[in-house]
């Protein structure tokens, strides 16, 4: 097996670079590691086999790109959390503490998790339409470095009063909803948006979770999110926050709306995603399952 450390120098506060992680891996006994970076040609990728491990040292956007490389080559994905949100790492209970994360890579226990496909691309965490796209589009790099994952919440709070929502139709293989929405998130696992927990979800259940938020006064929105978090249950269809599941999801809007995927701007609606169950091998001791049965 060959270990490839895929460096992402711009992730997070920039301090967890290749040298940082090489030192921690060496302390755990892993010294023969090839360092590479993502580029336009990725010439090194032709030498990767299905017996290798591609270690993503970065945030969710970098992990997404490395995961696509794993799907092409059959390699196993390893994660050394180095970004702002690190939601995919949370889905596998990967520790943020560097020595523990490095030890997990050396241990090598792997799990199979779902990914979502849209067109010819994938996402590991979440696709956002509406208000949820603003943190990716407007949260400045200095703010992210200063506030970390809380920069997402700060950006949303600044914008709540100016949002009236958009009209859209959400379809899955199990249901159809139509109305005015403040935000729609299509998630593959148990966490999104810097650690927000999705009730009754996991990254290996073979389903997408659609979280749709209706336009409401900001105090009512805050109360709704707190109740979902405290109850740990799937919201009812009449709630301010609505959650539905499905093997696939389609979203159509009256006017084209920006779509972000794993923190990067990806295009405009209409949007369609499909769950690919157990498509990706990733190093982790467990897959996190959240919430209780309704």
Q: Token pair of 187, please? A: 């998630």
Report whether 259 contacts 126 (CB < 8 A).
no
Query: Taking the CA of residue 64 as centre, how many other CA atoms within 13 Å lie in the half-sphere pointing to its CB?
Result: 24
Residue for token pair 């309704």: 294
In whole angstroms, give the CA distance from residue 137 to residue 52: 35
SS (HEC) of the chain: CCEEEEECCCCCCCCCCHHHHHHHHHHCCCCCEEEEECCCCCHHHHHCCCCCEEEEEECHHHHHHHHHHHHHHCCEEEEEECCCCCHHHHHCCCCCCHHHHHHHHHHCCEEEEEEEEECCEEECCEEEEEHHHHHHHHCCHHHHHHHCCHHHHHHHHHHHHHCCCEEEEEEECCCEEEEEECEEEEECCCEECCCEECCCCCCCCCCEEEEEECCCCHHHHHHHHHHHHHHCCCCCCCCCEEEEEECEEEEEECCCCEEEECCEEEEECCEEEEEEEEEEEEECCCCCCCCCCC
What is the CATH number that goes with domain 122-277?
A: 2.60.200.40
Using CA atoms, how far apart are residues 214 and 9, in angstroms rounded to an integer?
38
Tokens representing 147 are 């506030």
The terminus-to-terminus CA distance of the chain in angstroms comes to 44
Name the architecture of domain 3-108.
Answer: 3-Layer(aba) Sandwich (3.40)
Residue that the structure tokens 């109850």 belong to: 231
What is the pLDDT, as a whole number, of residue 232?
59
Per-position b or e across 115-124, b if 16+ CB within 10 A of its CB: bbbbeeebbb
Predicted model pTM = 0.82
Domain layout of the chain by residue ranges: 3-108, 122-277
Taking the alpha carbons of 98, 100, 103, 109 in that order, is the dihedral positive or negative?
Answer: negative
Q: Pick the closest to residue 193 from 228, 162, 167 (CA basis).
A: 228
pLDDT tens string, the chain, 294 residues long: the values are 999 999 876 555 567 788 999 999 999 999 999 999 887 678 899 999 999 999 999 888 889 999 999 999 999 999 998 877 788 999 999 998 999 999 999 999 999 999 999 988 999 999 999 987 765 544 444 444 443 443 444 445 445 544 578 999 999 999 999 999 999 999 999 988 777 888 889 999 999 999 998 888 777 777 776 776 666 565 565 578 888 999 999 999 999 999 999 878 889 999 999 999 999 999 999 999 987 544
């Amino acid at each position: 097996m060959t270990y490839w450390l895929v460096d992402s120098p711009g992730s997070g506060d920039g301090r967890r670079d290749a040298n940082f992680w090489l030192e921690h891996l060496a302390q755990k006994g892993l010294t023969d590691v090839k360092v590479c970076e993502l580029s336009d040609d990725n010439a090194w990728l032709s030498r990767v086999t299905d017996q290798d491990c591609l270690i993503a040292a970065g945030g969710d956007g970098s992990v997404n790109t490395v995961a696509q490389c794993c799907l092409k080559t059959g390699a196993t994905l390893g994660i050394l959390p180095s970004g702002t949100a690190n939601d995919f790492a949370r889905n596998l209970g990967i520790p943020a503490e560097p020595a523990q994360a490095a030890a997990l890579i050396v241990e090598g226990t792997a799990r199979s998790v779902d990914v979502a496909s849209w067109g010819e691309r994938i996402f590991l965490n979440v696709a956002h339409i509406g208000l949820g796209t603003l943190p990716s589009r407007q949260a400045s790099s200095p703010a992210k470095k200063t506030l970390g994952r809380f920069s997402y919440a700060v950006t949303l709070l600044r914008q709540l009063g100016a949002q009236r929502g958009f009209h859209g139709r959400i379809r899955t293989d199990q249901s159809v909803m139509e109305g005015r929405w403040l935000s729609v998130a299509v998630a593959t696992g148990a966490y999104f948006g810097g650690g927000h927990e999705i009730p009754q979800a996991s990254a290996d259940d073979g389903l997408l979770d659609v979280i749709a938020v209706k336009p409401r006064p900001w105090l009512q929105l805050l109360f709704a999110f707190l109740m979902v978090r405290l109850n740990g249950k799937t919201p009812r269809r009449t709630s301010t926050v609505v959650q539905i599941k499905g093997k696939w999801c389609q979203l159509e809007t009256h006017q084209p709306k920006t779509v972000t995927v794993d923190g990067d701007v990806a295009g405009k609606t209409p949007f369609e995603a499909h769950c690919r169950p157990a498509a990706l091998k990733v190093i982790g001791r467990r897959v996190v399952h959240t919430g209780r049965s309704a």
